[in-house]
Structure 1
Amino acid sequence: MPAVAVALLAFVGLIVSFTAVWITQLHSRNAGMIDPVWAATLGGVAMFVAILATGPELNRALVAAGGGIWGLRLARHLWRRNRGQPEDPRYRQFRLQWGDAAPRNMFWLFQLQALISMLLSVAFFIPAYSTETPSRFAIAAAVAIWIVALAGETAADRQLKQFLANPEHRGQVCRAGWWRYSRHPNYFFECVHWLAYAALAIGVPWGWLTLMPPVLMAWLLVKVSGLPLLEARLVQTRPGYREYMRTTSAIVPWPPRAAASTSPTRPDHPQDRSTRS
């Protein structure tokens, strides 16, 4: 099927899915479920594109496996984290700011996420519709990057979950595992994941476009929906978080500037309650 037709069908599917979540949150007043739905539908787009694309079978198989597994893992993590919990502070803050306009503005916020999903899906379309099979080097690089990203993000999520399971850590700052070297290691590995498709597109026509998704994701997490909203609040509500910011890299894992506490500490989950990690 032509790429334009597949893109239109995928976009319509995203709009319908996010509209259904919007209708649900009108009754529940909890918009947090958009996060796991976002991950699941984007993984679904990867598999949808792979099935209908016209590129080499290997390209499409790698896109389906890479995007599908990533999306399902992240969706499962976000669903288990958000289910039965109060609304994500980001969405709750939007409701307060928007007042009576909250239902309408929330609808358009959800549709904006559908548009962002389509921009990210460029990473799936380019290799899936390429007329050439990637070189062995490109395939090896893509698989290696994908494994590192998935393993790193899974490990960071698990470390945080184990930390939060201990009641003694409530209100503290996590410096366990990856969190010692980055304030948001899940964000880092999320961005790395999108580089796997750029590696897969090395040497193919329009392959340079696959650099847009990792750049877009990094920009969203660092400048828009991640750090700015999250850390402005944590500095005001979490003792020790300002010092954590001073000593610890924001995204890229790096040795801390000063000796960290010997016991892992971290604030309650909101540090990680942003899009997609």
Structure 2
Amino acid sequence: MLWNLVILNLAMMLISWLIATFNRRVGIVDVTWAFCIAVNVVLSAWLIESAPVSIRIFIGVFSGAWFLRLSWHLLRRYLGETEEDRRYANMRQAMGKFQHIGFLLFFIFQAGLAWLFFLPMWLLLNANESQWSNWTGALMLIAGAIMLIAFCGEVVADQQLYRFKQDKHNHGKTMDQGLWRYSRHPNYFFEWLHWFAYPVLGLAAEQYVLWIYPALMWLFLYYVTGIPFSEQQALKNRGQNYRDYQQRTSMFIPRKPKQ
């Protein structure tokens, strides 16, 4: 079944690549990435019968809801943009006449990343009932609390930023209210927090390898796809206004701002 999901991810990414080729809006890759994981999670929780029913329901509902909400949020942002995301506009310019094959390879690579970040759920769903310890119920409660806090935090952060950007009077200003008063990237922080739920739950089935995922997500957000580009674009668009925000506000972990 795992390879069937890989093929399904590739098919969805290729369809998205065709759409991006015609409308020159590569940002759809982010939407498809989250949706691929959501589909993988829901299908696997439904069809794989190895794990206890409670684990299947937990992952199908909690993880499925997380990635479905993320794909909806990214779709709303994608549809609301009038120009191509600056990240992908820069990529398009850099690739020049090779942009079509370049973006094709990029979309295929994103299908692989979707598979990589689906693996924690896959490993948990394939742990048979005899592998789960007597601590499963307690650890499931802890993992559920982590997921709930992360879900609520990211929904609030995303909605606060969305409403801020919808107000034309805020053009050129920095969002520094609500959760954004305590962290410059609260959405990324709660995304990172979410990934602690899987290794916590994995303790009950001796899936210790899952502790790689919070570290992996931190590396991606902190050094690769998240914070560096967001900070660069914010400084370019808002200049001193954003520099002042940087000086008083934590970059990642929420804490009281400096006076």
How many pairs were matched up? Answer: 252
Q: Residues 87-126 of structure 1: matches in 2 within 5 Å?
A: 87-126=84-123
- Counterpart in the other structure of 1:209: 209
Runs (5+) with no aligned partner, structure 1 = 1-5, 260-277
Hey, what's the Cα distance between the residues in 2 that align with 1:114 and 1:97?
A: 22
What is the CA–CA distance in structure 1 between the aligned matches of 2:171 and 2:237, rounded to whole Å?
13
Q: State the distance in 2 between where 1:237 and 1:71 align.
A: 30
Match of 2:9 among 5, 14, 22: 14
Alignment partner of 2:65 out of 41, 46, 69: 69
- Contact 2:192/2:218 (<8 A) preserved: yes
**Equivalent-residue separation in structure 2 for 1:36 and 1:236 (angstroms):** 25
Correspondence for 2:75: 79
Cα deviation digits, residues 158-196 of structure 1 (max 9, x gap) = 111221222221110111111011111101111111211
Greater share of residues in helix: 2
- Kept in 1, the 8 Å contact 2:34–2:114? The answer is no
Which ranges in structure 2 are unaligned for 5 or more consecutive residues? none
1:89-238 equivalence runs, <5 A: 89-131=86-128, 132-133=131-132, 135-205=136-206, 207-238=207-238
4+ residue runs over 3 A deviation: none
- The 1-side partners of 2:166 and 2:74 are apart by 16
Name the structure 2 match of 1:37. 32
CA–CA distance in 2 between the matches of 1:190 and 1:24?
27
TM-superposed deviation, 1:233: 2.7
The correspondence for 1:55, drawn from 47, 51, 56, is 51
Q: CA deviation at 1:52?
A: 2.7
Q: How big is the shift at 1:81?
A: 1.4
Q: Contact 2:182–2:254 at 8 Å: present in 1 too?
A: yes
179-188 vs 134-143, greater mean Cα deviation:
134-143
Quote how far apart the aligned CAs of 1:84 are. 4.7
Q: Give the percent of matched residue pairs that are identical in Structure 1 and Structure 2.
A: 30
Given residue 39 of structure 1, which amino acid in structure 2 is its aligned partner? A
Q: TM-score, normalised by structure 2?
A: 0.92
SS in 2 for 1:230: helix
Note the alpha carbon deviations across 1:72-105, whole angstroms, 9 max, x for none.
1111111111115221111111001111111111
Task: Give 3-state SS (helix, strand or coil) of 1:252's partner.
Answer: coil
Q: How far does residue 243 in structure 1 lie from its aligned partner after superposition? A: 2.1
Could you list the per-position Cα deviations for residues 13-70 of structure 1 after superposition, in whole angstroms to 9, with x for gaps in the alignment?
A: 1111111111111110001111111111111111122123221111111111122111
The one-letter code sitting in structure 2 at the alignment partner of 1:203 is A
